[in-house]
Amino acid sequence: MDTGLLLIPGPVPLHPRVQEELGKPALPHYGDAWIKAFAETQDLLRFLWEAPKGKVFSLFGPGHAGLESLAFTFLRPRDRVVVLDNGFFGQRTAEVLATHRIRVDVVASEWGTGFDVAKLRKALAKPAKAVAFIHNETSTGLTNPLDEIVELAHAKDAFVLVDAVSSLGGIPFPGGRLQVDAAFSASQKCLAAPAGISPILVAPSLWEAADPKTVDGWYLNLFTWDKYQREWGEWHPTPTTISSNLFYAVHRALVLVKEEGLQARFDRHARAAARLREGLGQLGFEAIAAPDLVSNTVTCMRPPTGIDPSILARGLQERHNIFISGGLGPLRGKTIRIGTMGTQAEPEVVDRFLAAVKTLV
């Protein structure tokens, strides 16, 4: 079956060695082989998050499950959390946290612009338990400055809860050096694995400060996951069944990241995104994100006058079998979004896409 070229910002085409894992017979989610792969995955996750001492989890669920698990485990109803919103996923984070009866204080800035430092400082003048933000805003193709935000939050004793869904494995995330307290990602983006596992990082300091007795819930409670790792670690290290095909596919994707090397991988993403922006720029497209904040994993651009983004996307699909995304929220009908994540971040892929666009504009 010709599935075409998937250039949406996740899921992305699977590497053949990752794809291969999905076609294997189902295996048990316990036993010796499983324990070995599980332990390797834990090490690979610490490597990926650049956090040798971090507590890591492969939560079985999408990125949002990662967010809810961190909210359930480390935040309580009535806690005040400052949420940075400069795009769709910042807004979504505020919405999700509010459903946990957390007092959400949104610090908004215009989509495509950086977060407002003065507003954040003002919001942090009052005590806050945490600052939640999106490392790479997939809706606008913008990367927020991880180090700066972590520093501002820590200066006011707030912990950081970071959405690294479209950055982990594509853009540097020095979780250990920056002492990132809590972060989550999703397997279907820069790791180029199937959707369904949310890699999680928790700093030891945040972990030790939390009181397991005050955490509600079971499945999304990370203390449950930790208990099974500790008490059943010899044979069955997770609280529930996990699809073995999915787990081995993610394990394989992580091995591929390690084989490539993080810096080489980040450079590959940077080169592919620059090539894409340059090519689209020559055709009159303009990035939504401020020039110093443009993302290396997601490109969001407004087409030149006279080009309708949805007609362009349809033309790419019907004439070239290439799939891209449109705008979200206020950018709906105004922009196109293209991923350069994992397998998409290759010069031939970018060139094939640009050649196809040229036939339609």
The encoded tokens of residue 113 equal: 């612009």
CA max distance for the chain: 62
Residue 159's nearest CA partner among 195, 131, 187, 186 is 131
Q: Between residues 34 and 49, which has the closer beta carbon with respect to ligand PLP?
A: 49
- Distance in Å, CB of 155 to ligand PLP, minimum: 25
Name the one residue in this structure whose structure tokens are 């950086």: 114
Helix (H, G, I), strand (E, B) or coil at 292: helix
186 makes contact with ligand PLP (CB under 6 A): yes
Indicate the DSSP class of residue 331: G
Whole-number minimum distance, CB 62 to ligand PLP, in Å? 3
- Of 68, 79, 163, 181, the one binding ligand PLP by CB under 6 A: 163
Q: Does 62 bind ligand PLP (CB under 6 A)?
A: yes
**Interaction residues for ligand PLP, span 121-140 (CB under 6 A):** 134, 138
The reply on whether position 342 binds ligand PLP by CB under 6 A is no
x/- track of binding to ligand PLP for residues 4-43 (CB under 6 A)? ------x---------------------------------
User: Residue from 11, 13, 54, 63 that binds ligand PLP (CB under 6 A)?
Assistant: 63
Check binding of 331 to ligand PLP (CB under 6 A): no
Indicate whether 115 belongs to the interface with ligand PLP (CB under 6 A): no
Least Cβ distance, residue 161 to ligand PLP (angstroms): 12
Q: Where are the beta strands (DSSP E) in the chain?
A: 5-6, 55-60, 80-85, 103-108, 130-134, 136-137, 142-143, 159-163, 182-184, 197-202, 286-287, 298-302, 322-323, 325-326, 336-339
Reduced to 3 states (helix: H, G, I; strand: E, B; else coil), residue 283 is coil
CB 297 within 8 A of CB 273: yes
Q: Which of 56, 150, 165, 273 binds ligand PLP (CB under 6 A)?
A: 165
Q: For ligand PLP, which is the closer residue by CB, 290 or 307?
A: 290
Residue with tokens 């091995």: 255
| Nearest CA-CA partner of 313 in 359, 357, 255, 266 | 357
Is the CB of 62 or the CB of 145 nearer to ligand PLP?
A: 62
User: Could you give the C-alpha distances from 39 to 147, 236, 243, in angstroms and in order?
Assistant: 29, 12, 17
- Residue 47 main-chain phi, psi, to 5 deg: -65, -45
- Binding ligand PLP by CB under 6 A: which of 30, 89, 115, 248? 89
User: Which of these ranges, 162-170, 226-234, 304-312, 352-360, lies near ligand PLP under the rule CB under 6 A?
Assistant: 162-170
Q: Summarize as ranges the residues that interact with ligand PLP (CB under 6 A).
A: 10, 62-64, 89, 134, 138, 163, 165-166, 186, 195
